[in-house]
Amino acid sequence: LDKTIKIRCISKEPDVRSSLKWLDASIMDDRIIASILEVQAEYPTSRVVLITNDNNLINKAQAAMIEHKEIEN
C-alpha cells in the first residue's frame, strides 16, 4: 500500500455558471466550492479535501458533498 501524500495548491478562477445551480459567483465561499468541484472532476481518482474552520464554508461543502476537515487549534 502506497502511503505517499501529494499536496497540490491549484489557483484558478472557477466557472461557477457550469457548477451547482445554487452557487453565486459573487460569493467567495461559492467560488471556493466551485473550484473544489472542478478539481474533483479534473482528478477523479484523487482524494480532494477542503481544510477550513469556516462554519459557513463547511455547511456549503456538506451540501455539495465535498469532504472537509477542520483545522485543529
**Which region, left, alpha or beta, applies to residue 44 given φ > 0 means left and ψ of -120 to 50 means alpha?**
alpha
33: buried, middle or exposed (CB in 10 Å: 19+, 13-18, 0-12)?
buried
The pTM is what?
A: 0.86
- Mean pLDDT of all residues in 33-61: 95
* Confidence bin at 10 (pLDDT 50/70/90): confident
| Per-residue model confidence as pLDDT tens digits over 28-43 | 999 999 999 999 999 9
Residue 1's pLDDT is 64
* Confidence bin at 12 (pLDDT 50/70/90): confident
